[in-house]
Amino acid sequence: MKVVILDRDGVINQDSAAYIKSPEEWKPIPGSLEAIALLNQAGYRVVVASNQSGIGRGLFDMATLNAIHDKMHQALGQVGGRIDGIFYCPHTQDADCSCRKPRPGLLEEISRRLGVELAGVPMIGDSLRDLQAGAAVGAQPILVLTGKGKKTRKDGGLPEQTLIHNDLAEAVQALLS
């Protein structure tokens, strides 16, 4: 089984320092939905691993998170794409949980649920914590320069073997070529 793991905010959709708190605030990055559809057509299962501390902070509730994800699923469906699973950490950084990236708990859960080893699996994110979580499970860290990506690259400290692409569409093209 071929799998690709994506962060959500800053990779699939525009990010916001004030969090994505409503379906109206969720706006896809140009080309990202079509890139996911290309992955699906190439036989990849696409899953999302996302920190959603806005829940733990009380900025939005589960019903709102589900509504945001419904909008994402509908937008993907319009271009022939789909997300096969969404895994998220609702905790704040102070919770010291194992599922909040950069810790690998979310990715380990993906591995368990899908019954797949993550060695070499592409983990595409825009922040250092995405890449660190991927590296912790042996996945291939891929940085996109959308969202926080340019700052992440500038700050340095990327895991070894990190690949860098301008956006999800370019990363997918490289993966499929």
Catalytic residues: 7, 9
**What's 43's DSSP letter?**
T
Phi and psi at residue 46, to the nearest 5° = -110, 125
What is each CA distance from 77 to 34, 110, 143, 169, in whole angstroms?
A: 10, 22, 25, 17
What is each CA distance from 168 to 10, 107, 156, in whole angstroms?
A: 10, 19, 20
Give, in degrees to the nearest 5, the angle at Cα 152 between 146 and 158: 120
Helix-, strand-, coil-residue percentages of the chain, each rounded to 5: 40, 20, 40
- Greatest Cα-to-Cα distance within the chain, rounded to the nearest angstrom: 43
